Structure 1
Amino acid sequence: DLFFSEQFLEARPLLTAMRQSAGSVLLVDEIDKSDEEFEAFLLEVLSDYQVTVPEIGTIKANVPPIVILTSNNVRELGDALKRRCLHLHIGFPDHKREQRIVQARVEGVSEDLLEQLISFVQSVRELDIKKQPSIAETVDWAKTLLLLHANALDEAFVRDTLNVLLKHESDIEAVNTDIPKLVREATSGKPMYPGQFTR
């Protein structure tokens, strides 16, 4: 009985959230990547605001936490879980908003390069690919371009860094054929000249 007591229990985020006297906000990110057993366990948290620990008992929330789940639809969530949630679809941001996000996260990107890379990314999202680049991947690509001292998009340079933006080889191959057109559109149809960027 000594070993099955609270002094040997390590509180994880769910239990910690239940124990906050002033309430809490609990974020469960990418719930669709968890296994179904965890999803079933989460039902108790969402319906009764409590956690049951075998051999110890049930620990109820002092103040019901605000629980936020995120999902990228890697797998279908169970109906029982979805019934306990309010659903809000958040799509990709528009051009201006994504620009502001990248500016806030990546210091020192020129206005021209920022405009071009956002235009390129948003065009890539319209293609038929397995995984559209996320905002985090746009930020990573901007950081990569900045570290490599790029001042404009270039067709060859885009090919060299496309794996930062796209995570599936099949997507890279699919986009490869469209790179000349996408770069022209992103750079407002201006002709590409050698030395337009500096590595």
Structure 2
Amino acid sequence: MGQTQEARIPASIDETIALLEAHDYLAGRQLATVLFLALRMQRPLFLEGEAGVGKTEIAKTLARALGRQLIRLQCYEGLDVASAVYEWNYPAQMLDIRLLEAAGVRDRERLEADIFDVRHLIRRPVLQALGRDGAAAPVFLIDELDRTDEAFEAFLLEILSDFQVTIPELGTIKAAEPPIVIITTNRTREIHDALKRRCLYHWVDYPDARQELEIVRRKVPNCDERLSRQVVAYVQKLRTIDLFKSPGVAETIDWATALTELDRLALDPETVADTLGTLLKYQDDIARIQTGEGQRLLSEVKAELLAEG
């Protein structure tokens, strides 16, 4: 698959906004400012916020907009160095040992030098992000860091401070050009201050109604305009009540897409009840909306939109 042409780093906040908007990501000025500064200062950007507000999409959009490769490290509980940074190709190493021994090589140093050669190194996301060999530095997404443990956080400190990693058998590998690092967290636990100090920080909130409506228009262009307005207004109201998990922007887009596939032109109580599974992901939340509160919200939405004209 061909790589898009590399674009230059934006020269201003307004250029940053325009660059993202050209790839259908609508960034507020505060987000564009901190992103612009992260790019110019070559500092990691730490994005915190609820799940589904578009943190991961920022990294994806930036990679497309700049024509850079996106390297994603998806974090999870138990993530270790072998999965995140590198590991050795043991079958290939064992094969080399047998071939060398069959050839009569017994020198220990010669054996070690051969089996711990870079050709036996399996590069995981961290090492891929640091060692680009002349290519433009990638966008390195460390996604949902809060799912890992503090030991892995501590390991990242060297990488985020000096953009380098130490492999005992090979030495220190340092990036010729620092990657563009985006770190996301859903704040299921607090991240240590030592890591945050190495980054610029931004809290990514849910978009307001105007911004979310524009997102739906761009992402679901065949959605009826009246339906789009009702969907956004309904979702905005859902986020004001105490749900186990409020719908994110991704769910808004999914719901608008689903309703369009069903050829709906407006919301009605039956349609809302039948399609809540695209919007809400917990049964207790769905049951609460289906037991009357959803109809109340729909009535409020229609009355407010009618008043707006």
Asked if Structure 1 and Structure 2 have the same fold, meaning a TM-score greater than 0.5 normalized by the shorter chain, the answer is yes
CA distance in structure 2 between the aligned counterparts of 1:10 and 1:106, rounded to whole angstroms = 40
Report the alpha carbon displacement of residue 79 of structure 1 after superposing the two structures with TM: 2.4
CA distance in structure 2 between the aligned counterparts of 1:102 and 1:37, rounded to whole angstroms = 40
CA distance in structure 1 between the aligned counterparts of 2:238 and 2:149, rounded to whole angstroms = 31
Aligned residues: 191
Query: Bigger radius of gyration, 1 or 2?
Result: 2
- Aligned alpha-carbon RMSD (Å): 2.0
Within the candidate set 34, 37, 41, 2:155 is matched to 41
1:100-145 residue CA offsets vs partner (Å, 9 max, x unmatched): 1112111310000000000000000111112111101111111111
Within the candidate set 209, 228, 243, 1:95 is matched to 209
Letter in 2 for 1:12: R
* Paired position in structure 2 for 1:24: 138
> What runs of 5+ residues in structure 2 fail to find an aligned partner?
1-111
Report the secondary structure of 1:73's partner residue.
Answer: coil
For CA contacts below 8 A with separation 6 or more, give which structure has more relative contact order: 2
Q: Percent identity?
A: 46
CA distance in structure 2 between the aligned counterparts of 1:126 and 1:144, rounded to whole angstroms = 23
Letter in 1 for 2:129: A
* Paired position in structure 2 for 1:7: 119
> What runs of 5+ residues in structure 1 fail to find an aligned partner?
191-199
Report the secondary structure of 1:93's partner residue.
Answer: coil
1:138-186 residue CA offsets vs partner (Å, 9 max, x unmatched): 1111111111111111112111111111111222223333101111122
Letter in 1 for 2:115: F
Report the secondary structure of 1:87's partner residue.
Answer: strand
* Paired position in structure 2 for 1:193: none
* Paired position in structure 2 for 1:182: 297
Q: Of Structure 1 and Structure 2, which has the larger fraction of its residues in strand?
A: 2
Q: Of Structure 1 and Structure 2, which has the larger fraction of its residues in helix?
A: 2
Report the alpha carbon displacement of residue 60 of structure 1 after superposing the two structures with TM: 0.7
CA distance in structure 1 between the aligned counterparts of 2:282 and 2:260, rounded to whole angstroms = 23
CA distance in structure 2 between the aligned counterparts of 1:189 and 1:53, rounded to whole angstroms = 61
CA distance in structure 1 between the aligned counterparts of 2:212 and 2:233, rounded to whole angstroms = 10
